[in-house]
């Protein structure tokens, strides 16, 4: 009553303001409920041809059929193996190279023209060459997934390393640190949280290339299953494959987020 400030009612749209976990979960579930209601309505009211856009329940039945009758879990495991191996190889090259390019201008001047040129070349255009070089086995598919992410990953990591505050490096030099000490104790720890974010983002891109890698001369994997379903107009199985890729992508994204919080817990406390 004596001029005490009244609590401000929370608004729906607040700039960069954290929301409770319960509200975040409710909003995340709501958007999926709306999505599936719109999908079901489109089929029920014949806004789309049900032959080419089956309802959600038919897609789920198609997924169940794949899992029970067609050993789909084996194909899922093969696709995960291809994604994991190709992405690990890309990170082994991109992380150290991106750190060196972001840290030392001479290294950037040497490698950046090559990296920038390759970044604009579409990975699928290399499929004929990869088939000649590696044949139709896993090598061709892993190479395509590798090419699809490495150049962008190098560039993003380089940019994150270059954004490390100059004062930190200058202070370390004043205290007598040499280049390798500063790189190891200042530059890498300061940029590693953002490097992890870049890896998570590019892993999502790797999943988008999966079907392209597996529809060419492939007999195993999620993409190959989808192509076999296309021959017999089993649209529900094609959409089931798309659904599985989306769910796997969400799972890997969740695992990366958890790993990020585990490795850099101080960042979470800063956001609160």
DSSP 83-110: HHHHHHHHHHHHHHHHHHHHH-HHHHHH
| 65-83 mean pLDDT | 92
Q: How confident is the model at residue 141 (pLDDT cuts 50, 70, 90)?
A: very high
**What's the confidence (pLDDT) of residue 4?**
57
**pLDDT tens-place string over residues 36-67:** 899 899 888 888 888 888 999 999 999 999 99
Largest CA distance in the chain: 82
| SS3 of the chain: helix, strand, coil, percent, to 5 | 80, 0, 20
Task: Say whether pLDDT at 1 is over 60.
Answer: no
Q: Which stretches of 31-99 are assigned E, i.e. beta strand?
A: none
| 92-100 mean pLDDT | 96
CA atoms of 253 and 56, how far apart (whole Å): 24
Locate all alpha helices (DSSP H) within 120-137, ordered by sequence: 127-134
The pTM of the full predicted model, rounded to 2 decimals, is 0.85
| 218-243 mean pLDDT | 89
CA atoms of 69 and 272, how far apart (whole Å): 48
In the chain the domains, ranked by start, together with CATH numbers, are 56-271 (1.10.3720.10)
Task: Say whether pLDDT at 269 is over 60.
Answer: no
**What's the confidence (pLDDT) of residue 3?**
56
Q: What is the dihedral of CA 215, 221, 222, 228, to 10 degrees?
A: 60
158 Cα distance to chain centroid: 18
Q: How confident is the model at residue 75 (pLDDT cuts 50, 70, 90)?
A: very high
**What's the confidence (pLDDT) of residue 22?**
85
The fraction of the chain above a pLDDT of 90, given in percent, is 47
- HSE-up of residue 90 (Cα within 13 Å, Cβ side): 28
**What's the confidence (pLDDT) of residue 196?**
93
Highest mean pLDDT among 88-92, 164-168, 264-268: 88-92
Q: How confident is the model at residue 115 (pLDDT cuts 50, 70, 90)?
A: very high
Structure tokens of 225?
């299953």
Mean pLDDT of the chain: 87
What angle separates helix 72-103 from helix 235-263, to the nearest 10 degrees? Answer: 40
Task: Say whether pLDDT at 272 is over 60.
Answer: no
Neighbours of 200 (CB within 10 A): 16
CA atoms of 271 and 17, how far apart (whole Å): 9
- Smallest CA-to-CA distance from 243 within 87, 91, 54, 112 is with 54
**pLDDT tens-place string over residues 3-40:** 555 656 667 777 767 777 788 888 888 998 999 899 89
**What's the confidence (pLDDT) of residue 153?**
95
Task: Say whether pLDDT at 256 is over 70.
Answer: yes
Task: Say whether pLDDT at 182 is over 90.
Answer: no
The fraction of the chain above a pLDDT of 70, given in percent, is 93
More confident residue, 232 or 194: 194
**What's the confidence (pLDDT) of residue 137?**
83
Residues 6 or more apart whose CB falls under 8 angstroms from that of 249 comprise: 204, 207
**What's the confidence (pLDDT) of residue 136?**
81
| 164-181 mean pLDDT | 83
């Amino acid at each position: 009553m004596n001029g005490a400030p009244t609590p401000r009612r929370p608004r729906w749209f607040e700039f960069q303001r954290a929301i409770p976990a319960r509200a975040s979960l409710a909003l995340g579930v709501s958007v999926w409920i709306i999505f599936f209601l719109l999908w079901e309505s489109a089929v029920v009211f014949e806004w789309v041809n049900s032959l080419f856009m089956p309802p959600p329940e038919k897609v789920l039945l198609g997924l169940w059929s794949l899992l029970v009758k067609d050993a789909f879990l084996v194909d899922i495991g093969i696709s995960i193996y291809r994604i994991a191996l190709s992405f690990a190889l890309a990170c082994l090259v991109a992380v150290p190279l991106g750190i060196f390019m972001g840290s030392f201008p001479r290294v950037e001047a040497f490698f950046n023209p090559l990296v920038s040129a390759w970044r604009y070349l579409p990975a699928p255009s290399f499929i004929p060459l990869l088939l000649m070089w590696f044949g139709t086995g896993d090598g061709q598919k892993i190479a395509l997934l590798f090419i699809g992410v490495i150049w962008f990953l190098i560039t993003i990591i380089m940019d994150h390393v270059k954004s490390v505050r100059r004062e930190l490096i200058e202070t370390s030099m004043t205290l007598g640190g040499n280049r390798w000490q500063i790189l190891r104790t200042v530059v890498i720890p300061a940029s590693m949280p953002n490097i992890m974010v870049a890896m998570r983002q590019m892993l999502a891109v790797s999943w988008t290339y999966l079907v392209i890698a597996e529809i060419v001369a492939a007999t195993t994997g999620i993409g190959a299953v989808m192509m076999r379903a296309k021959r017999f107009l089993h649209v529900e199985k094609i959409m089931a494959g798309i659904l599985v890729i989306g769910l796997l992508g969400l799972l890997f994204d969740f695992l990366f987020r958890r790993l990020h919080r585990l490795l850099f817990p101080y960042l979470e406390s800063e956001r609160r």
